[in-house]
Structure 1
């Protein structure tokens, strides 16, 4: 299992698919408390014909390292890994917090981003009253109970309970310091007034049942993008695992569309 040392962390990553493929590499970035396996379906599908890279962000999954204080720090980790792998141009695909990281990369390194894909993500964090109450209660309830409440909210009604429990278990393995510090980082994240600078073709995919980051927040973001395609899918916030085939199909259509990277 490959790993890369950066700024006190050991990042675990996967780098699969042909190096001489026609399209530029896809770089999959997971969200808060998650890990690189959120992208299993997409990795299997796209690695047949394109180079695909994913990582566990610092403090998540199998990667070590303390809590990042800002989304920008996580973006720097991703770019350090891509520099190490000698990847010049690529397409970042970010879910939730990973989409915040992807937008940060597109703004700070526009010359290296071929296209951009945002999945259940936004450009300015606005917490609902319900989620705000959950966060306020986090200091007074057991950590695992807090995580369970967050993950239950992330899935659309009807998603298999046993699978939800597995995601709760995986998320609860993320250190509390990492979880709470990144909550503050996401709360402070705001690039809404700058996303008009992102001139590359952008795919925005969102679950219509997302109550963590509601569709109306995504639409406010989308209106600022000069070249965006929007896809709404019948899912909650965890679209990559709730409806993996639908998400993969949307990516396929976007990558094969006009001005596709080559």
Structure 2
């Protein structure tokens, strides 16, 4: 395993990049974690545009291909990045995500609430359904403070883009090694979404963890083990 490997971490919608802190601690620099806060950047906020910005960030900052770890919406962004900018992606860690949103329990309701009822109650509901093991109160409060700074239009645009995007046809040409991780108790996406994703990718392994939608925070040791396994395939 090379000490020079970097992993760009791409969080989900309304999810602070600090959600990767415990995973970063577990990995202890092997690989280094570069948290990418796409939701706080200037728009546009559709997935292809965000993917393009991450590709440019990797080229400018790292000068070569990296691991990319995408959680939830960040996983869809990561898949698009690997399909359209394969030269910057060395391997993928895909967490509680999928190539499309059919069967995603509440996306239409969330989009409607973002459009019509944006506020603290909505942000707290999205946060709370993302964890099977609730974060510590001070961590939850910090995550909510961060979410309150996000532009409502950014959230609306990216969720609408993700709802309308289907990357299924692109999966066979994403040949980089991939680790697909899913929480058994995920209330947003059924674990079968993860299994289907791993089956469709040419070089992927599926791991089911005893977590909710956010295993990078709920079980960082297990996610770190999956990352280390992926590194041995490079």
Whole-Å Cα distance in 1 between the matches of residues 11 and 196 of structure 2? 22
Deviations 1:156-177 (A, max 9, x none): 1x52562434423322221211
Within the candidate set 115, 136, 152, 2:112 is matched to 136
Tell me the equivalent position of 1:76: 52
What secondary structure is seen at the aligned counterpart in 1 of 2:206? strand
Whole-Å Cα distance in 1 between the matches of residues 62 and 110 of structure 2? 42
Task: After TM superposition, list the pairs within 5 Å mapping 1:46-195 onto structure 2.
Answer: 46-57=27-38, 59-60=39-40, 64-65=41-42, 67-126=43-102, 128-156=104-132, 158-160=133-135, 162=137, 163-195=139-171
Q: Is the 8 A contact 2:51 2:80 kept in 1?
A: yes
Deviations 1:38-85 (A, max 9, x none): 21123334353444322211x43xxx42x4341111111111111212
Cα distance change on mapping 1:242 and 1:46 into 2, 3 Å: closer
What secondary structure is seen at the aligned counterpart in 1 of 2:63? coil
Whole-Å Cα distance in 1 between the matches of residues 115 and 62 of structure 2? 43
Q: Is the 8 A contact 2:16 2:143 kept in 1?
A: no
- Displacement of 1:131 in angstroms is 4.4
Cα distance change on mapping 1:152 and 1:46 into 2, 3 Å: closer
Task: After TM superposition, list the pairs within 5 Å mapping 1:213-252 onto structure 2.
Answer: 213-252=189-228
Whole-Å Cα distance in 2 between the matches of residues 229 and 238 of structure 1? 18
Tell me the equivalent position of 1:37: 18
Q: Is the 8 A contact 1:24 1:89 kept in 2?
A: no
Give the structure with the larger helix fraction: 2
Cα distance change on mapping 1:49 and 1:136 into 2, 3 Å: closer
Q: Structure 1, unaligned stretches of length 5 or more? A: 1-20
The structure whose RCO (Cα within 8 Å, separation 6+) is larger is: 2
| Root-mean-square deviation (Å) | 2.2
Whole-Å Cα distance in 2 between the matches of residues 231 and 86 of structure 1? 28
Q: Select the structure of larger CA radius of gyration.
A: 1
Q: Structure 2, unaligned stretches of length 5 or more? A: none
What secondary structure is seen at the aligned counterpart in 1 of 2:81? helix
Within the candidate set 153, 163, 187, 1:211 is matched to 187
Cα distance change on mapping 1:100 and 1:133 into 2, 3 Å: closer
